[in-house]
Amino acid sequence: MRCMNQHQGEAPSQMAPGPIVALIRHGQTEWSASGRHTGRTDIPLTAAGEAQAEAIADVIDASAFDTVLVSPMQRAQRTAVLAGLENFHVVQDLQEWDYGDFEGLTSPEIRERVPGWTIWGGPWSAGETAEDVGARADRVIERVLGGQPGSKVGLVGHGHFSRALAARWVGAPVAAGAWLALDTAAVCELGWEHGNRTLRRWNVVAGMRMAG
């Protein structure tokens, strides 16, 4: 990865006891732009979302990845292609949180029905629970950890699920994802320090400059 491959003078691929993961959220859709919960509704990127996806190539080096895993949703697959990650495997477990009865609604609309509601604390009406999502995230992580130490893995998916996966990467409960805001077309790096799994970079978007 271009601007995300050095940290305090060390090359993560040489220091890591396991794979380095680039966690990539898809570009903007009509629903993400308006704050509507988009789980299993398969809608395309907007024109702005396509431009965002293309700009991901300024944040990563697509040629550096050993493996790329992508959600089955078209918004994720299109993002991968536009970012230069065309040789990918579709993984069902990378789908977004299934919002059930709250699909297509904004948070304020849901809170009119359920005061104080959040996706992290529920309730989850006819959708996935935090435990369900955590189990999927753990399966993805187990698959990633089967790779060679220092290898580069790309995961292209969705906002809430990526936040849940990052929480589980560091051994935290899914609800810790509430603290990990994630923009469309953002890139994160899940890596290692002293043998521990860490969040090395978070919510990097094209044009952002980061030290290190």
Is residue 89 annotated as part of the catalytic site, yes or no?
A: no
Counting other chains too, the contacts that 30-35 makes at CB distance below 8 Å and 24 or more residues apart are: 31/104, 32/159, 32/184, 34/106, 35/106, 35/107
C-alpha distance from residue 169 to each of 40, 181, 185, 212 (Å): 24, 16, 20, 22
Is residue 128 annotated as part of the catalytic site, yes or no?
A: no
Q: Which of 7, 96, 160, 189 is catalytic?
A: 96
Instruction: Determine phi and psi for 202, rounding to 5 degrees.
Output: -140, 135
Give me the amino acid identity at 57: A
Cβ neighbours for 157, distance < 8 A, ≥ 6 positions apart: 23, 24, 25, 26, 70, 71, 76, 94, 95, 96, 165
Q: Which of 7, 26, 37, 160 is catalytic?
A: 26
Catalytic annotation, residues: 26, 96
